[in-house]
Amino acid sequence: MLRGLYLSATGMVVQELRQDVITNNLANASTGGFKSETATIQSFPEMLLQRLEKGRATPVGYFSPGVMVDRIHTNYASGPLEETGRPTDLALLDTAAGTPPAFFAVQTGGNEAYTRSGSFQVDADGFLVTPEGYQVQGQYGAVYVGTTNFKVDSSGQVLVNGQVIDQLRIVTFDAQTLPLLQRQGNNLFTAPQGVQPVPAANFQVRQGWLEKANVNVAREMVDMLAVLRTYEANQKAIQAADQTLGKSVNEVGSLR
């Protein structure tokens, strides 16, 4: 009976974590370049139960202690593109299906980070930066344009007054290292130590466009309702086990 309480409790914890992931997806459904997440679940390893009787252990059977969240997976699929007409807005279009996505490289303090959100602006010093002020990187370091009247061609070359001044540093990761990227907030990802990006090849840059979030709001709402129903089912199982346990303690075997 107590095992049932533990099993239902682990189920409730897992559904609560899934709810947090879904809520974060819905909250960022209008955030440009946001990549949705999914929580995957697995059971704890089974344990062999044994009964001790007169100093001898007799196998009873296997028991699973419940479930847990295995990991949080990021969905790197491209989101739809939206035309804005602003020259500082850039979108990455992946041109080869089934290949890892391309990323803009930006400098965050002493580290390099990567993003799919191309909602950039020109700061007071003339550098192309993110809304948080992180400098967008090119082949020669931070991209200096000096004006909003600049052009970016499909290959990422930056042109001012018709002259190529730099080329955006567009990178990617292979299929093995892509899942290792760590989400840092502000639509940024960082690579763990030892993981290095490589120059992207299968992409096009669209100036005056933005990539929207790849969140499927309808799917997230359906998943939210499923999580709620599963949570309630585990809650009712705990209530039923608690009532049965109460009867066992207070009524079964009581003297009258």
Span 83-105, pLDDT tens digits: 999 999 999 999 888 889 999 99
User: The whole model's pTM is what?
Assistant: 0.82
The pLDDT value given to residue 215? 96
CA distances in angstroms from 144 to 109, 117, 135, 166, 167, listed in the order given: 17, 19, 9, 8, 11
pLDDT at residue 3 above 80?
Answer: no
Instruction: Determine how many CB atoms are found less than 10 A away from the CB of residue 222.
Output: 12
- Domain layout of the chain by residue ranges: 2-51+61-74+215-246, 81-211
The pLDDT value given to residue 8? 85
Burial class (CB in 10 A: 0-12, 13-18, 19+), 89: buried
The pLDDT value given to residue 2? 67
**Contact indicator for 173, 100 with CB cutoff of 8 Å:** yes
pLDDT at residue 256 above 60?
Answer: no
Average pLDDT over residues 49-53: 79
Please write down the HEC assignment for all residues of 30-87. CCCCCCCEEEEEEECCCEEEEEEECCEEEEEEEECCCEEEEEEEECCCCCCEEECCCC
Give the tens place of pLDDT for each residue, 147-206: 889 999 999 999 999 999 999 999 999 989 999 999 988 899 999 998 999 999 999 999
